[in-house]
Structure 1
């Protein structure tokens, strides 16, 4: 319609109007539809046809000061805190946290990593940074943090699986199947995990324990798996007997000692260790008490076997 009127003005020889001394209409040119209304309003304001509101200058001054304040807060790094404060007071303050998937990790530790306070706004809350902080907790393998509007945070975690207790020196730690340390051993609920001892034991334990568990009659009696020189294993039984296995042929050595135990009960005797490292012989080490009894018995034999004296 404006274009038609402009055309009529041109045909009638009427002036096209001006805004601050500049002509608004040019021969052969039609403004796009989106710009026609703003240009007409500006032209009317420039021509004095529109009267400003009563408090226009006050409003404009306030808007200008507010814009400068927002810009200053943004440049100074205070804008996120401002957003948090405003949105928290308008119904978006975090009021509830739901945690799932945790067994070893306490909710207190998880809440601490969320870094919430009484006026944390869900709008300004950074869920990704919170997820990264939670993932740093010892037992957490992966974590997911989700914002549920208007005032709830949902945390789902997946924890590492304990495999064994690793003793290195005087320290005890819970390790995964691949040997990675999870956390120091501090809870009796993990006391039933296998105990592996020695340098390199945590990395090699899974494969070796799998071999021993193939023989339940032996695995049920094992108290500790000892790694010797990062080359071979010893088995410490519940009754204190140590089975010294060779570096190679562990399975065959286990089958041999189990066959002997079934035949003569060697693993239930008063002995300290059974050495299976030699291919051609079995070496049994007695306990100190058994060694004393054996020496005493050997010393008694000559006396009991001495022929009585003949008197003439």
Structure 2
């Protein structure tokens, strides 16, 4: 979706242009044919670029004379005045790829206003500011002469909710934390919850594993990083699954097989320990232990 960022309003007044009858210039036409972009600019664009070329020559001469610093500002001002006079000023800013990022944040990062000289804008710096926004993964900016700026955004896609220091954040597939407000967090409330200082770094591998076995994966309410080495999974029925540091995928697949064949997770247990590759350790619930401790009734 492409949308304009400037509000509705009157466009800035532009100076009336004089219509000049251009004389044939074979060399200029040949250059234009060799540079399609230049031909599209018309005589106004070639006038500006012509002055720019002359300015480069002047700068080179004055640099040899040690006067470069004295003329930089003057040349820049002349180019800016000429660009404005020929209509090379910002009249619209459009953006595509924006879904979550606020339009106001994009405009603030661009630092571009209607009426700015479009040729003197530092698009590289504006792009860096855009990419510093939490929700922006990448951005590109282009001038669409004579008077438009177009921004293309790629937003981050949240993969999980991350709980740390008592706060909630969103995390993308690269483990990058995304700042989110209450309303934004609520939109992603069904994402897996991960806990631990280094959890975002290893979350993508775990979530991919859970997706392979959705029967169990969809029951995981939280994944807790333990000692920065491995994961514990908290299921919707309160059962804790302890995964190993090495061979996590194999252990999870073993759990999935046991669930399919024996309905293991539906039994009266609180912990399933998969850290040993050659054995399965389960912890019974208190109720199950008490029931086992009651001696069978004697027949009378």
Shorter chain as denominator, the TM-score bin is 0.5 to 0.7
Question: Closer, same or farther in 2 for the Cα pair 1:294/1:105, shift >3 Å?
Answer: same
Question: Closer, same or farther in 2 for the Cα pair 1:82/1:132, shift >3 Å?
Answer: farther
Which residue number corresponds to residue 148 of structure 1?
A: 144
Q: Among 227, 232, 235, which residue is 1:234 paired with?
A: 232
Which residue number corresponds to residue 167 of structure 1?
A: 163
Structure showing greater relative contact order (alpha-carbon pairs closer than 8 Å, 6 or more residues apart): 2
Find the aligned partners of 1:123 and 1:260 in 2 and give their Cα distance. 66
Q: Among 162, 183, 204, which residue is 2:179 paired with?
A: 183
Question: Closer, same or farther in 2 for the Cα pair 1:85/1:191, shift >3 Å?
Answer: farther
**Secondary structure of residue in 2 paired with 1:224:** strand
Pairwise mapping of residues 11-26 of structure 1 onto structure 2 (< 5 A)? Answer: none
1:139 aligns with 2:135: yes
**Secondary structure of residue in 2 paired with 1:213:** helix
CA shift for structure 1 position 268: 1.8
Which residue number corresponds to residue 283 of structure 2?
A: 285
CA shift for structure 1 position 165: 2.4
Q: Higher mean Cα deviation, 175-184 or 87-96?
A: 87-96
CA shift for structure 1 position 76: 10
1:130 aligns with 2:126: yes
Question: Closer, same or farther in 2 for the Cα pair 1:252/1:120, shift >3 Å?
Answer: closer
Which residue number corresponds to residue 106 of structure 1?
A: 102
Which residue number corresponds to residue 197 of structure 2?
A: 199
* 8 Å Cα contact 2:251/2:277 also seen in 1: no
Question: Closer, same or farther in 2 for the Cα pair 1:148/1:300, shift >3 Å?
Answer: closer
Q: Higher mean Cα deviation, 142-151 or 117-126?
A: 117-126
Question: Closer, same or farther in 2 for the Cα pair 1:137/1:249, shift >3 Å?
Answer: closer
**Structure 2: tracts of 5 or more residues without a match:** 1-66
Find the aligned partners of 1:140 and 1:146 in 2 and give their Cα distance. 17
TM-score (norm 1): 0.60
**Structure 1: tracts of 5 or more residues without a match:** 1-70
Question: Closer, same or farther in 2 for the Cα pair 1:83/1:279, shift >3 Å?
Answer: closer
After superposition, the C-alpha distances for 1:4-35 in whole angstroms (9 at most, x for unaligned) are xxxxxxxxxxxxxxxxxxxxxxxxxxxxxxxx
CA shift for structure 1 position 133: 2.0
* 8 Å Cα contact 2:196/2:225 also seen in 1: yes
Root-mean-square deviation (Å): 3.5
CA shift for structure 1 position 298: 5.8
Larger Rg, first or second structure (1 or 2): 1
* 8 Å Cα contact 2:223/2:234 also seen in 1: yes
CA shift for structure 1 position 99: 0.6
Which residue number corresponds to residue 245 of structure 1?
A: 243
Question: Closer, same or farther in 2 for the Cα pair 1:230/1:85, shift >3 Å?
Answer: same
Q: Among 222, 225, 240, which residue is 2:223 paired with?
A: 225
TM-score (norm 2): 0.63
